[in-house]
Amino acid sequence: MNVLIVEDEKSLALEMDEFLSKEGFIVEHAWKKSSAEEKIFVNNYDFILLDLGLPDGDGFDVLKQLKRLENRDDAVIILTARSAVDDRIKGLDEGADDYLPKPFSLNELLARMHAIIRRKHKLDKNEISIHNFLLNIQNRTVSFADERLNLTKKEFEIFNYLVLNKNRVVSRMSLTEHVWGDILEVNSDSNFVDVHVKNLRKKLAQASSIDWFETVRSIGYRINC
């Protein structure tokens, strides 16, 4: 899958590049509005990660230009530090697939990209399989050997997020923010996520051995596969 990162802040773009390349994405860069528009005109991308504040113009213009082209199915995720309240609504109205305010966690970005892939490509079954556990994204259920596990909503969210970010460390902070959202101040302590993870592991362990579900020291968790 190929990704176009439209971001004028080079060090940020390169960090995203490093992360996404490891995930197997082919990454291209555009530092300016003009070069982004050229690249979009020439190539098809699976993902366009679009910053709004570009040195030579507004990221929304790039989005509008893309929407004028026919037969394009590029998914657009707006990444911005701009604080205007209605940017999010405007972005989604203009046809962006998602909106992620800066600073964001790379885990969160990856999870959102996976969610878009599933939505766009209408995968035959809305299911992800991991070590014989089956996650049904639509019904938000997990089953093992056709038997449904009784997970709470939050436990499912945590499991799903870890699975989407498999083979990488997901910090408690990133996990908390994903599950509870960006509630100001509330998510500043991360003990609560541990309680949920503990319960989740207990429920999973009842079905099968889960030595692949790793606690990474004081930082967070990782699902290996």
Question: Which three-class secondary structure state does DSSP give residue 1?
Answer: coil
Closer CB to another protein, residue 144 or residue 192?
192
**CA angle, 71 then 72 then 73, to 5°:** 125
Residue 101 CB partners (closer than 8 Å, separation 6+): 80, 81, 88, 182
Q: Shortest distance, CB of residue 121 to another protein, whole angstroms? A: 26
**Quick one: which segment of 115-123, 136-144, 156-164, 172-180 binds another protein (CB under 8 A)?**
172-180
Least Cβ distance, residue 41 to another protein (angstroms): 27
103 binds another protein (CB under 8 A): yes
Q: Which is nearer to another protein, 18 or 56 (CB)?
A: 18
Nearer to another protein, 160 or 187 (CB): 187
Which run of H or of E encompasses 2? Answer: strand 2-6
Q: Is 90 helix (H, G, I), strand (E, B) or coil?
A: helix
Exactly one of 26, 69, 183, 205 binds another protein (CB under 8 A); which one? 183
Residue choice 117, 173, 207, 210 for contact with another protein (CB under 8 A)? 173
Of 26-34, 111-119, 126-134, 168-176, which segment contacts another protein by CB under 8 A? 168-176
Q: In the bound complex, what is the minimum distance in angstroms from residue 4's beta carbon to another protein?
A: 17
Read off φ and ψ for residue 104, nearest 5 degrees: -120, 165
* Complex with another protein: residue 8 or 61, whichever CB lies closer: 8
Peptide bond into 103 cis (omega under 30): yes
Q: Which of 106, 115, 207, 210 binds another protein (CB under 8 A)?
A: 106
The answer to the question of residue 163 lying near another protein (CB under 8 A) is: no
Query: Exposed, middle or buried: residue 166 (CB in 10 Å: 0-12, 13-18, 19+)?
Result: middle
The whole-angstrom distance between residue 54's C-alpha and the CA centroid of its chain comes to 23
**Residue at 35: amino acid letter:** S
Name which of 138 and 188 has its Cβ closer to another protein: 188
Residue 151 burial class via C-beta count within 10 angstroms: exposed 0-12, middle 13-18, buried 19 and up = buried
User: Which amino acid, residue 121?
Assistant: H
**Of 10-29, which residues contact another protein (CB under 8 A)?**
11-12, 15-16, 18-19, 22
- The backbone region for 39, taken as left when phi is positive above 0, alpha when psi lies in -120 to 50, beta otherwise, is alpha
Binding residues vs another protein (CB under 8 A): 9, 11-12, 15-16, 18-19, 22, 53, 81-85, 102-107, 154, 168-169, 171, 173-174, 180, 182-186, 188-189, 192, 195-196, 217-219
